[in-house]
Amino acid sequence: MQNLFDNTICAPATARGGAIAVIRVSGLHALRCVDGIFSGRTSLADAPGYSIHYGEIHEADGTLLDEVVVSVFRAPYSYTGENAVEIACHGSEYIVSRILSLLLAGGAKMAAPGEFTQRAFLHGKMDLSQAEAVADVIAAQTAAAHRIAMKQLKGGFSSELAGMRAELLHLASLMELELDFSEEEVEFADRTQLRELVGNVLTHCEKLIESFHLGNAIKNGVPVAIVGNTNAGKSTLLNALLGESRAIVSDIPGTTRDTVEETLNLDGVLFRFIDTAGLRDSDDTIERIGIERAYDKLATAQLVLAMLDLTAPPGELLASAQNIASRVTEDQQLIFLLNKADVVPVDVNAEARRALSPLLSNPGRQLYAISAKAGVGLEDLRQTLTTTWRNLDTASETTLVTNTRHLEALQNAANALRRVRDGLGIADADPAQGIPTDLLAQDLRESLYHLGTIVGEVSTDEILGNIFRNFCIGK
């Protein structure tokens, strides 16, 4: 006999430990499925949508398992767009697992990670970028991250993309019109106007690509690389900032061989501190890989904390500072930290400041004397970090891209648009050299395709699998 509830999924929707737990059930026959284990005043199969019902759930042998309240949703007015029931029971792990067992015994299936949201996407309740925002809303740790995720969830990003795609479709139709009449050698569309249209959308695309820097910093934390020579006190600083012993500290040079990353919410701004391997020439293969990685982190950080050891010979200190400064770009902020100030005389400190002063002429560079070990000067450092980055966003109304999948799609779309724009330009200058309209139209369609992948207009099982795999069960 075919199982009636084959397509009905269930999963716990709340984290363990609360007073109440919620179990989600969704599918064509979700109401009848829950009826199988629920005894209330009416059967759920007859209940209207948006109604709640009190009742009991019993074990197969009749023992009372729990008193519950169930909410009934009828398609399409539910999260998934299907018939759905949410069972609110006592927040006991035992009860939750028993209810799930009873549902499974009745023929329902355990939901895969993100399957509720995936169904919501498949039933057109939300597009793909909104589905991704569900995970972002749940993970958001700061007001700024929450605001971006919420805007994406409410379709702000989607409607912006829809606008861009409408412009490109208009453009495509102008081009295809020309193609249809190509036998007659007529040029319908004014190429200057076409190029302007492409240019507008391309600029928009580039602005969104640009926004990823900030979007990513807000979502994943402003990347702060702690770099410097071995034994300068980098790991001690990370631990001091975190207030816990996260990285191994020792006076044996080369202790930190890999990068250690931790996020920290300082006064509402999320930072991602990255402790790196000490920069030095090393024969040790593994240590060398760690040093390579340290340079990578330095290159991609928005803020670089250069740890300098005041107890090291002055020449060494300066060389280290110069090495780091030479690798920092204009766009990166650089803070020199003269560490171990607790154990050196004041004049050593002053001498180091003098030696470093030429490196401080660029804007965005600062210097502090600290003791990572004794916790001296760290409050000033924290203050500087939060005041510099507090303006990160929060009131900004512009869309910020936070998702690497979206970034890649935008980059691909922009590349295709650049080919169209350049192609139109050549045709202008020298019609004989012009790239045939059909090739340009193809590039245009490609850019539409890439933008379409963001909202899931075009998607493959692989794309969906990658996205929803990272969701929790019950989401």
Ligand X SMILES: Nc1nc2c(ncn2[C@@H]2O[C@H](COP(=O)(O)OP(=O)(O)O)[C@@H](O)[C@H]2O)c(=O)[nH]1
Q: Is 235 in the site for Mg ion (CB under 5 A)?
A: yes
Least Å distance, CB 23 to Mg ion, is 46
d(CA 358, CA 197): 48
Least Å distance, CB 260 to ligand X, is 10
Least Å distance, CB 240 to ligand X, is 8
Q: Which residue has the tokens 């490609």?
A: 446
d(CA 451, CA 222): 27
Q: Which residue number, 282 or 437, has a Cβ lying nearer to ligand X?
A: 282
| Residue 340 interacts with which of Mg ion, ligand X, none, CB < 5 to 8 Å by class | ligand X
d(CA 285, CA 272): 27
Question: How many residues sit in the footprint of Mg ion (CB under 5 A)?
Answer: 3
Using CB positions, name the residue nearest to ligand X. Answer: 233
Q: Which two tokens stand for residue 34?
A: 């829950």
Q: Which two tokens stand for residue 200?
A: 């507008």
Q: Is 371 left (phi over 0), alpha (psi -120 to 50) or beta?
A: beta
Least Å distance, CB 255 to Mg ion, is 5
| Residue 159 interacts with which of Mg ion, ligand X, none, CB < 5 to 8 Å by class | none
With 0-12 CB in 10 A as exposed, 13-18 as middle and 19+ as buried, what is 347?
Answer: exposed
User: Among residues 137, 119, 136, which one has the least CA distance to residue 11?
Assistant: 119
Q: Which residue number, 98 or 234, has a Cβ lying nearer to ligand X?
A: 234
Residues 132 to 151: which contact Mg ion by CB under 5 A? none
Q: Which residue number, 251 or 331, has a Cβ lying nearer to ligand X?
A: 251
Least Å distance, CB 413 to Mg ion, is 42
Using CB positions, name the residue nearest to Mg ion. Answer: 256
Least Å distance, CB 241 to ligand X, is 12
Per the document, the length of the chain is: 475
Q: Is 374 helix (H, G, I), strand (E, B) or coil?
A: coil
Residues forming the site for ligand X (CB under 6 A): 228, 230-236, 249-251, 255-256, 278, 307, 339-340, 342-343, 371-374
**φ/ψ (deg, to 5) at 369:** -95, 130
Q: Which residue number, 311 or 411, has a Cβ lying nearer to ligand X?
A: 311
Q: Which residue number, 255 or 396, has a Cβ lying nearer to ligand X?
A: 255
Least Å distance, CB 140 to ligand X, is 31
Q: Which residue number, 256 or 453, has a Cβ lying nearer to Mg ion?
A: 256
Q: Is 236 in the site for Mg ion (CB under 5 A)?
A: no
Q: Which residue number, 211 or 256, has a Cβ lying nearer to Mg ion?
A: 256
Residues in CB range of 161: below 8 A, 6 or more apart? 129, 451, 454, 455
Q: Which residue number, 232 or 427, has a Cβ lying nearer to Mg ion?
A: 232
The continuous run of DSSP H or E covering 291 comes out as helix 285-300
d(CA 203, CA 199): 6
| Residue 27 interacts with which of Mg ion, ligand X, none, CB < 5 to 8 Å by class | none
Least Å distance, CB 475 to ligand X, is 38
Helix residue ranges, H only, 49-114:
93-105
Least Å distance, CB 225 to Mg ion, is 13
Q: Which residue number, 117 or 256, has a Cβ lying nearer to Mg ion?
A: 256
d(CA 128, CA 164): 17
Q: Which residue number, 260 or 269, has a Cβ lying nearer to ligand X?
A: 260
Angle in degrees, CA 293, 299, 304, rounded to 5: 100
Least Å distance, CB 380 to ligand X, is 14
Least Å distance, CB 238 to ligand X, is 8
| Residue 458 interacts with which of ligand X, Mg ion, none, CB < 5 to 8 Å by class | none
d(CA 33, CA 157): 37
d(CA 53, CA 67): 11
Q: Are strands 64-73 and 84-90 parallel, antiparallel or unpaired?
A: antiparallel
DSSP letter for each residue of 399-466: -----HHHHHHHHHHHHHHHHHHHHHHHHHH-GGGPPPHHHHHHHHHHHHHHHHHHHTSS--HHHHHH
d(CA 386, CA 384): 6
- HSE-up of residue 306 (Cα within 13 Å, Cβ side): 26
Q: Is 216 in the site for Mg ion (CB under 5 A)?
A: no
Task: Please pick, from the candidates 211, 256, 320, 402, the single residue that binds Mg ion as defined by CB under 5 A.
Answer: 256
Tell me the β-bridge partners of 261. Answer: 274
Q: Which residue number, 191 or 340, has a Cβ lying nearer to Mg ion?
A: 340
Interacting residues with Mg ion (CB under 5 A): 234-235, 256
